Amino acid sequence: MSAAPDAIRAALSSLATVFAADGYRLIVSGVGAGRLKIRVEAEPNACADCLIDKETLVGLVQSSLPENAGIHAIDIQYP
């Protein structure tokens, strides 16, 4: 069973601030059945060279989630 979406969002809120510093929005767009969906959107002022690559983001998410989050797969959508 996956943790509540609000708990997941809270765990990832600091990562969201990291993305915001470069002009990106990190959005938890779905949580359920052990799967976490994350969408990254670019603001008009986003720095193209600054975006953290997907593989690193997955690792950062994994390191930021609580151990009992129950997430077994992470779906990433990048701009």
Partner 1 sequence: MVFELMNPAGNVNVRVSKVANRLRVLKGARLGLLDNGKTNAAKFLNMVADILVREYGVGAVKMFSKDTLAKPASRELLHAIIADSDFVVTGLGDCGSCSTNSVHDSIEIEKLGIPAVAVCTEPFLPGLDALTRMRGMPDYKFAVSPHPLGVLFDDELKGRAQLVVPQIVQIVLGSAESAQRAATTASAPVTP
Q: What are phi and psi of 76, to 5 degrees?
A: -115, 135
Distances (CA, A) of 58 to 44, 45: 24, 24
- Rg over alpha carbons for the chain, rounded to the nearest Å, is 12
State yes or no: residue 33 binds partner 1 (CB under 8 A). Answer: no
How far is residue 73's CA from residue 53's CA, in Å, rounded to a whole number? 17
* Of positions 6, 14, 32, 33, contacts partner 1 by CB under 8 A: 14
The single-letter code of the amino acid at 21 is A
| Residues in 37-76 at the binding interface with partner 1, rule: CB under 8 A | 37, 39, 47, 49-56, 58-64, 71-76
Query: How far apart are CB 72 and partner 1 at their closest, in Å?
Result: 8
Which chain residues interact with partner 1 by CB under 8 A?
14-15, 17-19, 21-22, 24, 37, 39, 47, 49-56, 58-64, 71-78
